[in-house]
């Protein structure tokens, strides 16, 4: 089976640290939610795409372990130094879930377009493969957002894939520049209205509608940010549904 309609879980939710420390990553309940949305026929097939962080081997190993513990059949697509999969469209279209790591949003977008992944991933999304990501893996699906991919201070990304007709800002409560920069960019019109997430919070989109916010951490929020009649930014707090461990 596949998701009942095109589905994206765009988050500020990474992996939790396990008992062994930084070398051990654990996937929380948001990842189980993504599998439920994918409605797999058997063991869920999941492909990791780590382009935004440069496909580092240590992150891949930890991500394989974290997702494998949830019973997923895990693969990955690397673009460095060349694609490690011969039939990229065929492989990605056969997945139940595609997980995209954080890192540099502008680098991710440039390389994906160079390799045609923008079009392949749109086919996956339209075909019912659930797309999930954190940070850069959240911003990329939107029209644009905030990024530290050029270094600090934060700068806007205005050429996102545009599957979702909004802007996006992750790490809203965790990085001091995120909130004021996002408010500034929406107020100026450089970014369209959009959604922001505190760390631990994700946005569930079905089609292009944001149907609910979810969180792994109590007390965290999502936000709808739009341009007000006075030319300033308006911020509406969204209370997310808590996903119990």
Find the mean pLDDT for residues 143-160: 97
Query: DSSP string of 3-39?
Result: -SS-EEEEES---EEETTEEEEEE--HHHHHHHHHH-
121 domain-assigned? yes
Quick check: is 1 in a domain? no
Among candidate residues 101, 135, 138, 169, the one labeled active-site is 135
Does residue 147 contact residue 104 with C-beta atoms inside 8 Å? Answer: yes
220 in any annotated domain: yes
Its pTM stands at: 0.97
CA–CA distance, 33 with 223 (Å, rounded to integer): 21
Query: How many structural domains compose the chain?
Result: 1
Does residue 12 carry a catalytic annotation? Answer: no
**SS3 for 197?**
strand
Residue 2 within a domain: no
Query: Is 44 contained in some domain?
Result: yes
Q: What is the pLDDT of residues 160-199, one digit of tens each?
A: 999 999 999 999 999 999 999 999 999 999 999 999 999 9
Domain-embedded: residue 96: yes
CATH number for the domain harbouring residue 208: 3.40.50.880
Tokens 């030319």: give the residue.
231
Options 78, 101, 104, 171, the catalytic residue: 171
In a domain, 70, yes or no: yes
Read off the pLDDT of residues 80-108 as tens digits, 9 standing for 90 and up: 999 999 999 999 999 999 999 999 999 99
Report whether the peptide linkage leading into residue 81 is cis, meaning its omega lies within 30 degrees of zero.
yes
Q: Which two tokens stand for residue 173?
A: 């409560």
Q: CA-to-CA distance for 157 and 143, rounded, in angstroms?
A: 8
Rounded Cα distance between 47 and 55, Å, is: 13
DSSP helix/strand/coil, 178: helix
Torsion of CA 129, 136, 166, 163, to 10 degrees: -30
Q: What is the pLDDT of residues 117-144, one digit of tens each?
A: 999 999 999 999 999 999 999 999 999 9
Question: How would you class 41 by CB atoms within 10 Å of its CB: exposed for 0-12, middle for 13-18, buried for 19 or more?
Answer: exposed
The answer to whether 115 is a known catalytic residue is no
The closest of 108, 104, 29, 12 to 66, measured between CA atoms, is 29
Query: Could you tell me the residue range of the domain that residue 171 belongs to?
Result: 7-242
Return mean pLDDT, the chain.
96
Cβ-contact 91, 66 below 8 angstroms: no
Regarding beta strands 130-134 and 97-100, do their DSSP bridges make them parallel or antiparallel, or are they unpaired?
Answer: parallel
């Amino acid at each position: 089976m596949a998701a009942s309609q095109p589905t994206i879980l765009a988050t500020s939710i990474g992996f939790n640290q396990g008992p062994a420390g930084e070398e051990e990553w654990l996937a929380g309940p948001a990842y189980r939610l993504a599998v439920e949305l994918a409605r797999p026929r058997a063991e869920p097939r999941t492909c990791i795409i780590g382009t935004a962080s440069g496909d580092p081997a240590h992150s891949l190993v930890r991500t394989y372990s974290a997702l494998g513990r949830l019973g997923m059949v895990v693969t990955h697509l690397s673009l460095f130094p060349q694609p490690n999969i011969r039939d990229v469209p065929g492989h990605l279209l056969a997945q139940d879930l595609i997980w995209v790591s954080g890192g540099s949003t502008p680098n991710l977008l440039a390389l994906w377009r160079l390799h045609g992944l923008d079009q392949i991933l749109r086919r996956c999304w339209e075909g019912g493969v659930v797309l999930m990501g954190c940070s850069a893996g959240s911003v990329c699906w939107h029209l644009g957002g905030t990024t530290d991919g050029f270094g600090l201070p934060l700068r806007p990304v205005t050429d996102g894939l545009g599957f979702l007709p909004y802007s996006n800002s992750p790490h809203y409560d965790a990085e001091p520049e995120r909130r004021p920069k996002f408010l500034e960019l929406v107020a100026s019109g450089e970014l369209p209205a959009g959604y922001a997430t505190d760390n631990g919070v994700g946005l569930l989109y079905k089609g292009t509608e944001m149907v609910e916010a979810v969180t792994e951490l109590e007390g965290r929020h999502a936000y709808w940010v739009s341009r007000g009649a006075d030319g300033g930014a308006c911020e509406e707090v969204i209370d997310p549904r808590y996903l119990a461990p």
